[in-house]
Amino acid sequence: MSDSNHDIEALLQDLPLDDVPDPAHRAGLREMLYRARVEHVTRNAAQPGLAARAGALLRRRTGRLATALAAAVVAALGVGLLTRSPDGAGVAWGMENAIAALQDVRTIHINGLTKSGAPFDCWVKAGDDRSGSDSLRYETDSEVVVMRDNVTYVYLPKRNEVRMMEGRLLQGVRVWQLALRLRLWVGDNLLGELMAHADRWEVSRRRDEQTGRNAVFVTCDYPRLGMSFWFVFDPATQLIQRARQWHTSERRGRPDYEAIRIAYNERVPDELFAFQIPKGAKVIDASGTEDRRSLLHEAERLYENRELPSAIAVYRQVYQQYPEWSYAAHALTMIGICHRLSGQDDKATDSLERTVQEYPDLRGWSETAWFYLGRQYAESGRKTNAIEAFGKCVALCQGVREPGKFPWKAAREAVEKLTGPP
Amino acid sequence: MTAHEGDLNGSIRNVSDLGPGARPVEGDRISQARRDPAAFADLCQRHYDRVFRYCVHRLFARDTAEDVTSTVFLKVVGGFDGFRGGEQDFVRWLWRIATNTVNAHLRKTARRERLLGTLASEVRTENTGIPVADEAAETRLALKRAILGLKPRHQAIIALRFFEDMSVSEIAALTGGSPSTVRSQLSRALARLRRDMARSGVGREFG
């Protein structure tokens, strides 16, 4: 073969592919196949039955999520049942049982502590149709969050300020973290996702010192997100008894949230989820999520088509109209990249400097800006500044990015190159 | 090949290789699977990872690969009663089903377009939604686009050869051609990739 074919072969062999199977999908499919086979054998598959329905279900995104979730939940919560069987044979568990157990939970009340040691309360009440219309209230001395009827209110008493957001799928990193910390306690869907995406998922069964009874301990770690969790499950009820959540990987330091008591199916009055805007409070409508995403997508499309002046103009609109949105940092970075690709190096450097000035350490976002700024400095001979910028990138990547991927790898190599022998 | 990945030749090396939820099966797994739906599900689970990876390698999209993997195994449910042979034959049969299912999926132009669209956004997000405006990422995108632009049969040969590390003879056995035919198709596919990469104008010189 020719040299250029060898080049292609090398590229093919080095092509990174995200091909790690999702255990939840695997387990969900196995269950479906089992049931489909049972039906096939018993009915001889004379007509479309469960196999066809299972196929349709698994081909639908929601169906896949449901089966993946069910499998993950069974795996996580069914540990107690699995371990009941002394010899491992004739395991007495079924997906339906675990799903049924979850479906019996109508309310959750959690008492816990934040990282600063401040107490919090969180109540969740399942909607009548289990379709995600749960109501939720989270309360500390400094913050009250109420989610109900597709609207989320965040009240900050010290500022006497209410932030109102339409929708339950909250966008943006800061709000996402808020949603995540709330949804964790709501339960099942996040638990399934936690198991599916964990870098490490460890289960052990031992005596719980606090209660004196046997319990199932689960720890899981998400280095890319810089998060980790610890759960204690009650084997009898299969439900979470206590939990901790860290905004660091490997459960370093004090947990950011600790649930020290979780009560299921207590009576929770509806009034708890009623929210009235306090007198004199400043109300900020933080909706408009779709508008800003559309604007961002337009900017991305222009960038993709290399219509760089137009892309810059639209990215600028994103930044100017939504400065508190985490994508504002991204928009500023992209303005710098567009200038760079247009050969406007000074403007590129200015934009990237502004990005890191305004968003110096926005995890998951700022490190890219630091990387490109380092590259600008390096190419213009500002070696010391370049090393500093690449160093910042490397430092910010810890616990957020993967060491072998962009920008961590590229920044590390750049530092080595700049600080190594000439 | 990793310990849990399963073996193309179907030989079991360790009970723990069976993966979560699976049980060890004594004797002939195919015969067991015919009699016992749980053994059948275990047999499929044993080969899930390899099939899923192959689907990702063909489609470059996890969600779609999961859909197609599900379809592959549901076809196995439907056809298992008519299957004759041992586990090695089962593995070859499974690969053929997987290849045909992916090919059928790709033959729908709209689906291929959607995959190309997914790729365009994917290259610009390495995990975080932040575009990656570097040359290597652009090159990878161009290569994936070029692969998806190949005829399904040629694409299958590329995937089997470079992502599944199969020899030309193994590919020939799976695809039902002779080794010399596979070799010539591989050569044509590589030439086409080289040409498309040169046209895309990214990365190294391929012309």
Distance CA A53, CA A56 (A): 5
Nearest CB to A406: which of B21, B48, B132? B132
More confident residue, B10 or A307: A307
Give the nearest partner residue to A33 out of B40, B121, B187, using CB atoms.
B40
| Predicted local confidence at residue A86, as pLDDT | 29
Contacts of A27 in chain B (CB under 8 A): 20-21
Max mean pLDDT range (A299-308, A353-362, B27-36, B187-196): B187-196
For chain B, domain boundaries: 1-107, 108-207
Are the Cβ atoms of B48 and A64 closer than 8 angstroms? no
CB contact under 8 Å between B130 and A17, yes or no, is no
Does residue A266 sit in helix, strand or coil?
coil
Contact yes or no for A165/A287 (Cβ under 8 A):
yes
Fold of the domain spanning B108-207: Arc Repressor Mutant, subunit A (1.10.10)
Yes or no, beta carbons of B124 and A368 under 8 Å apart: no
CATH code for the part of the protein at A106-285? 2.50.20.10
ipTM summary value: 0.75
Residue-wise burial string across B185-204, b where 16 or more C-beta atoms lie within 10 A, e elsewhere = bbeebbebbbebbbebebbe
- On the question of pLDDT at B26 being above 80, the answer is no
Minimal C-alpha gap between A161 and chain B (Å): 30
pLDDT recorded at residue A46: 38
Cβ pairs A/B, distance under 8 A? 166
- Angstroms from B102 CA to nearest CA on chain A: 14
Show residues of chain A in contact with B158, CB under 8 Å: 12
Instruction: Point out the residue among B49, B74, B139 whose CB comes nearest to the CB of A51.
Output: B74
Q: Which of B137, B143, B190 sits opposite A1 (nearest CB)?
A: B190
* CB distance A252 to A246 below 8 Å: yes
Beta carbons of B20 and A401 less than 8 Å apart: no
pTM above 0.95, yes or no: no
* Strands of the A227-233 sheet, one edge to the other: A200-207, A214-222, A227-233, A240-246, A257-264, A107-114, A119-125, A135-140, A143-148, A151-156, A161-166, A282-285
Over range B176-204, report the average pLDDT: 82
Cα–Cα dist B150/B152, whole Å: 6
User: Which residues on B lie below 8 Å from A64 (Cβ)?
Assistant: 63, 66-67, 70
Structural tokens at position B53: 């990876």
How far apart, in whole angstroms, are the C-alpha atoms of residue A43 and residue A46?
7
Check CB contact under 8 Å for A8 and B124.
Answer: no
Contacts of A8 in chain B (CB under 8 A): 143, 190, 193-194, 197, 206
Report pLDDT digits (tens) over B130-169: 444 456 777 787 888 888 888 888 999 999 998 888 889 8
A246 beta partners: A228
Each domain of chain A, given as residue ranges in start order, spans: 19-100, 106-285, 289-419
**CATH for A289-419 (1.10.357.10, 3.40.1110.10, 1.25.40.10, 1.20.1180.10):** 1.25.40.10
Alpha helices in chain B (DSSP H): 29-35, 37-59, 62-79, 87-107, 109-122, 135-148, 152-158, 168-175, 179-200
pLDDT of residue A164: 76
Per-chain mean pLDDT for chain B? 73
Low-confidence ranges of chain A (pLDDT < 70): 1-6, 39, 41-103, 128-134, 150, 166-198, 224-226, 285-291, 324-326, 363-364, 399-400
* Amino acid making up residue B201: G
Query: How much is the average pLDDT of B83-93?
Result: 85
Supply the pLDDT for residue A76.
34
Q: Taking the CA atoms of chain B, what radius of gyration do you get in angstroms?
A: 19
Q: What is the CA radius of gyration of chain A?
A: 25
Q: Chain B partners of A32 at a C-beta cutoff of 8 Å?
A: 70, 74
Tell me: pLDDT of B98 over 90.
yes
Q: Give residue A388's pLDDT.
A: 94
Closest residue on chain A to B207 (Cα): A4
CATH of B1-107 given 3.90.950.20, 1.10.1740.10, 3.50.50.60, 3.40.50.2300: 1.10.1740.10
Q: Between β-strands A161-166 and A282-285, what pairing exists: parallel, antiparallel or unpaired?
A: parallel
- β-bridge mates for residue A125, sequence order: A107, A135
What percentage of chain B has pLDDT greater than the value 90? 16
Read off the tokens for B36: 């016992």
CA-angle at A384, arms to A380 and A389, nearest 5°: 85
- For the four alpha carbons of B15, B20, B23 and B28, in that order, the dihedral sign comes to negative
Taking contacts as CB-CB distances below 8 angstroms, the residues of chain A near B44 are 29-30, 33
